């Protein structure tokens, strides 16, 4: 842990940092588990992005939906101190069912329109969340078009592929052929962002949100794409809240959004999967 970070934590805690261990998962920064001199254990995150936004999201999820997230102890743009939640258990069918219960409960939190009170990050990139009445307009403009145009400007997305994404955006009214209600989603549910009970019974906490009010199928499509939830997850979700006909076809469209984000983060290795997904949709 860097001296400036250690000093910030000690000033907040009122005692020394006795030990610090680097944790995995620092996609946009560095994450440490710190043991304080008074015995408390906390997670300390530093990043080049403004960490107060992550703190606001975690507090919003806790207050508005009751989703299990780490408590925020201290937040500045440079340093975020969170509750340490142990949990490195396996994603068993029982955990998948519990995950489905938790997400069904989260998706039951609704709003009048799509978007969020403030822009949120996805990795190191900004997600615009302007309040929008129409889901197709929101997803087309503020997810697919925004990501594709940004990736093209960053010279990681070839113009021909960007044109194919634009053609999908034009056809979204036909491709997303249902009328979802705005539902609060976590926005980045995959294995590394879950703290799982060591006995394999359930999810203790959800980390690193990228939340907004969306078609909840966006969340389900991401859970499927990342292999975070399989048959047990989807069976339970159907039992609890239901799943509209045509989900798997729409899920392919929704997959384009994280693929574009991954192209922006990681470059060429995600271009072929993006192009294959576009081809599968007929573009």
Residues taking part in catalysis: 188
Burial class (CB in 10 A: 0-12, 13-18, 19+), 166: middle
**CA max distance for the chain:** 60
Give the list of residues 6+ apart from residue 252 with CB closer than 8 angstroms, or none: 221, 277, 280, 281
Going across the sheet that includes 29-36, the strands are 17-22, 29-36, 41-47, 79-83, 72-75
| Cα atoms in the 13 Å half-sphere on the side-chain side of 78 | 7
Residue with tokens 């499927």: 224
The phi-psi region of residue 115 (left if phi > 0; otherwise alpha if psi is between -120 and 50; otherwise beta) is left
Contact 79, 45 (CB under 8 A): yes
3-state secondary structure 82-132: EECCCCECCCCHHHHHHHHHHHHHHHCCECCCEECCCCEEECCEEECCCCE
Q: % helix / strand / coil in the chain, to the nearest 5? A: 45, 20, 35
Give the list of residues 6+ apart from residue 280 with CB closer than 8 angstroms, or none: 252
Distance set, CA 184 to CA 5, 172, 196 (Å): 33, 21, 22
Give the list of residues 6+ apart from residue 15 with CB closer than 8 angstroms, or none: 36, 37, 38
Q: Rounded to whole angstroms, how far apart are CA atoms 167 and 229?
A: 30
């Amino acid at each position: 842990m860097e001296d400036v970070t250690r000093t910030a934590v000690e000033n907040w805690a009122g005692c020394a940092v006795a030990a610090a261990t680097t944790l995995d998962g620092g996609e946009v920064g560095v994450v440490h588990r710190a043991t304080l001199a008074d015995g408390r254990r906390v997670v300390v995150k530093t990043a080049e992005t403004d960490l107060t936004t992550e703190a606001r999201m975690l507090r919003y999820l806790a207050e508005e939906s009751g989703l299990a997230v780490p408590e925020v102890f201290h937040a500045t743009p440079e340093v975020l101190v969170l509750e340490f939640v142990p949990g490195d258990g396996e994603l068993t069918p029982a955990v998948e069912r519990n995950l489905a219960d938790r997400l069904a409960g989260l998706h039951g939190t609704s709003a009048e329109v799509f978007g969020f009170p403030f822009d949120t990050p996805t990795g190191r990139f900004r997600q615009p969340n302007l309040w929008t009445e129409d889901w197709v307009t929101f997803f087309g403009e503020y997810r697919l078009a925004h990501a594709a145009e940004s990736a093209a400007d960053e010279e990681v997305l070839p113009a021909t592929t960007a044109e194919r994404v634009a053609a999908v955006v034009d056809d979204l009214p036909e491709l997303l052929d249902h009328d979802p209600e705005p539902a609060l989603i976590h926005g980045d549910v995959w294995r590394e962002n879950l703290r799982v009970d060591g006995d394999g019974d359930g999810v203790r906490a959800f980390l690193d949100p990228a939340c907004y009010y969306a078609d909840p199928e966006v969340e389900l499509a991401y859970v499927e794409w990342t292999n975070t939830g399989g048959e047990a997850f989807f069976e339970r979700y159907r039992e609890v809240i239901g799943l509209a006909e045509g989900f798997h076809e729409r899920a392919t469209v929704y997959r384009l959004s994280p693929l574009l984000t991954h192209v922006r983060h990681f470059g060429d290795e995600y271009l072929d999967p993006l192009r294959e997904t576009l081809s599968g949709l007929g573009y």
